[in-house]
Amino acid sequence: MDSHLDYTFRAMASDVRLLIGPRLRRTAPAPLDAADREKAFVLEFGRRLSRFSADSELSALNGDPRLTVPASALLRAAVRAGLWAAECSDGLVEPTLVGALECVGYAVSRDGVTPASLCTALDSAPARRPARPDPASRWRQIVVHDEAGTIVRPRGVMLDTGGTGKGLCADAVACRLAGYARFLVDCGGDIAVGGLGAQFEPYEIDIEHPLSGDRIGRVSVDHGGIATSGLNVRIWRRPDGSFAHHLLDPSTGQPAWTGLIGATALGESALEAETLSKMALLGGPDAARRVLAEHGGVIVHDSGEVETVGPLEDRLSTPAPSRAVA
């Protein structure tokens, strides 16, 4: 670890951290030069895909009255990632909820805004129920055409690439760091791990409890992705006194209160892990156990109880008292 570069900066309303090991090829840039290069890439990625910036490519797409809109390769990749997550989740993780997000109070960035108390919000939250896909949603009608360089979507449909965008960005940076022995890319909790050296010396990644901030446990990751979704980071009190957060039930357009307040998932990529963690949290406890069964994960109930799911148990060290699920 002493030979690793540890490099952190702010982008996409999140802390971004890069751990870069020794070069595999002499022609590869020095780790610090590579980190500077990737910082520029991530900042540009976030600038071009922010729905909070009026001059971003995503805002231009959402504001364009045409059904077919020219789109850059980056915008097409980001929209495709959102559609992939929607397909994998059968519409539970859905990229067309911009209008609903704005209605619940997430029309502008909440970067730098202190979150409301999750404990207080849970006390007054509505009855718990699993989120459900919206059968009337039109995400299946969105088409990305690479040859034509366009995106086709129904009139009035706006897209948000927020969560899946961070997973996509982490995976993209990981690909760009393939010339290094061992590396980790953390884009606001969406983490990609790679390099041959990580197979021999995995990274130890902490999982934080969404209520206390204490460490639930430490997961050993030697490749692929790990991601955490939770209600504690972006939660606020609305003018009527009720609480809202950014993870919506597509069937209602309202914040999802499912009995879970946090979910961590492993996957073959950061994008897959991000999608699985969202599916788990939105689906509630029973669905989460099914979603996380293959790769493993951790879920945190409203009560604060921590539950380890699937094969993660053997890779989670010093956990809080938890109940393992086969």
Is the pLDDT score of 321 beyond 70?
A: no
pLDDT mean across residues, the chain: 93
Total domains in the chain come to 1
For residue 20 the two structure tokens come to 């870069």
User: What pLDDT, on the 0 to 100 scale, is given for residue 318?
Assistant: 55
At 322 the pLDDT is 42
Under the banding of pLDDT at 50, 70 and 90, the label for residue 324 is: very low
pLDDT in tens, 92-119: 999 999 999 999 999 999 988 999 999 9
- Average pLDDT estimate for 21-35: 94
Average pLDDT of span 227-249:
95
Domain containing residue 252: 5-325
β-pairing verdict for 322-325 and 306-309:
parallel
CATH number at 84 reads 3.10.520.10
CB-count burial class (<10 Å; 0-12, 13-18, 19+) for 78: buried
* pLDDT, average across residues 164-184: 97
pLDDT of residue 325: 38
The pLDDT score that the predictor gives to residue 228 is 96
pLDDT of residue 295: 94
Question: Residue 229: pLDDT above 90?
Answer: yes
pLDDT for 140 beyond 50: yes
**pLDDT in the model for residue 312:** 78
Q: If you search the block for the tokens 């039109």, which residue do you land on?
A: 138
Cα–Cα distance for residue pair 112/169, rounded to 1 Å: 21
Maximal C-alpha separation, the chain = 60
Each residue's pLDDT tens digit, 178-211: 999 999 999 999 999 999 999 999 999 999 999 9
pLDDT digits (tens, 9 = 90+) for 50-92: 999 999 999 999 999 999 999 999 999 999 999 999 999 999 9
| Contacting residues for 187 by C-beta, under 8 A, at least 6 apart | 11, 12, 14, 16, 42, 166, 167, 169, 170, 173, 270
Mean pLDDT over 151-163 rounds to 93
Query: What percent of the chain is modeled with pLDDT above 90?
Result: 91
pTM to 2 decimal places? 0.94
Banded pLDDT at 163 (limits 50, 70, 90): confident
